[in-house]
Amino acid sequence: MVDTCCYELCNICEHTLLLDWDAVVEYDGERIACGDFRPIFGREEIEEGDEICSDMKSDYSDLCCYTPPTVPCNLCQTESDFLDTYSDVEVDFWGSAMNCSDL
């Protein structure tokens, strides 16, 4: 049944890269977040290894994926917890306005 009913959904990012869910790209004439590709791939049943998947990786991997740091930023770490970061709060970072999620 698994071979008949299941498939591996296309993943824009190769195994060593992570998806930047909030990065915005132009797709099909609209601006969307890179995280929106997953439901699009699900609706269209785009499988890993398909030509469409390969084309999407070629077009969007550089814009949507990043290499995770070897030492992660601990901006929101307390003594006992890791807190979430507000993505839409703007702060001054070395003289430049940036969103907390971009730090």
Task: Considering only residues 26 and 86, tell me which one the structure prediction assigns the higher pLDDT.
Answer: 26
| Res 32 pLDDT > 90 | yes
Q: What is the pLDDT of residue 54?
A: 97
- The span from the CA of 100 to the CA of 68, in Å, is 17
CB-based burial label for 56 (10 Å; 0-12, 13-18, 19+): buried
Q: Summarize the confidence of residues 80-86 as an average pLDDT.
A: 74
Q: Quick one: pLDDT at residue 72?
A: 65
Whether the per-residue pLDDT at 73 is higher than 70: the answer is no
Q: Report the C-alpha gap between 47 and 97 in whole angstroms.
A: 39
Residue-range domain boundaries for the chain: 1-68, 70-103
CB 46 within 8 A of CB 8: no
Q: Which residue has the higher pLDDT, 83 or 95?
A: 95
